[in-house]
A = this chain, B = another copy of it.
Amino acid sequence: MPPEPTPRTAVRRLPEKQVDDLATLHAILDEALHASVGIEVDGQPYVLPMACARDGDHLLLHGSTGSRLMRALAGGAAVCVSVTHLDGLVYARSAFESSMQYRSATVLGVATQVPPADKVRALEVLTEHLLPGRWAELRAPLAKEVAATMVLRVPLAEWSVKVSDGFSEDPPADLEQPVWAGVVPLRLVAGTPVDAPDLGPDRPVPAHVRDRDRDR
């Protein structure tokens, strides 16, 4: 159920690009390996890249319990989590109309710590999102590892999504310009896996790594 835009999430610029269905929000978050997390400390905004994963109607973030910004987030600071996928470069007939294709999601709110009883499951969600298929073949987390990790969740309650997926909308007079116009698609792709230098014998690349993102 998409929320009504609040004064803080209503898109003012290019409102025709605002999308309000939850499926699109989820798709954008589910494709993201990292988010840009905004927080204000002493009058200065900070933006940090952090790994992320959606867990139902929350977004999970994690970091060290020693991190100053993780502690500020856990302490109830207002947060903005932003995810952007660049999908293409839009070549218009003028610099002014040139733009990019993108899908972006913004979530506002307050993060809370995932309670201890749910932390290992949340770490599994994060790991499986970032490294699908990996969790089952790894040893269980050690108690000290879990204790050293803070896992936060931000409710997907106040959010906005913008999608720009078309070509340029040049004014009629510009269509005569003697230039090509179109889109150059952009895509984040996974390359060939590289063995760790200290990899022991008989440790083949697993199928879930070898075939990663092949279908994107």
Contact = CB atoms under 8 A, between A and B. Distances in A.
A96 B141 contact: yes
27 contacts: A13-B63, A33-B100, A40-B40, A45-B78, A45-B80, A46-B106, A46-B108, A47-B82, A86-B188, A89-B130, A96-B148, A98-B127, A98-B134, A100-B130, A139-B174, A167-B198, A170-B198, A180-B195, A181-B199, A181-B203, A182-B194, A182-B205, A184-B190, A184-B193, A184-B194, A186-B189, A186-B191
Contacts of A104: 49
Given A13-B67, A67-B13, A182-B195, A100 B51 contact: yes
Interface in A159-216: 167-168, 170, 174-200, 203-206, 209, 212
A98 B186 CA distance: 27
Given A44-B108, A86-B33, A186 B196 contact: no
B84 A36 contact: yes
Interface of A: 8, 12-13, 33-34, 36-40, 43-49, 51, 63-64, 66-68, 78-82, 84, 86, 89, 91, 93-96, 98, 100, 102, 104, 106, 108, 123-124, 127, 130-131, 134-135, 137-139, 141-142, 145, 148-149, 167-168, 170, 174-200, 203-206, 209, 212
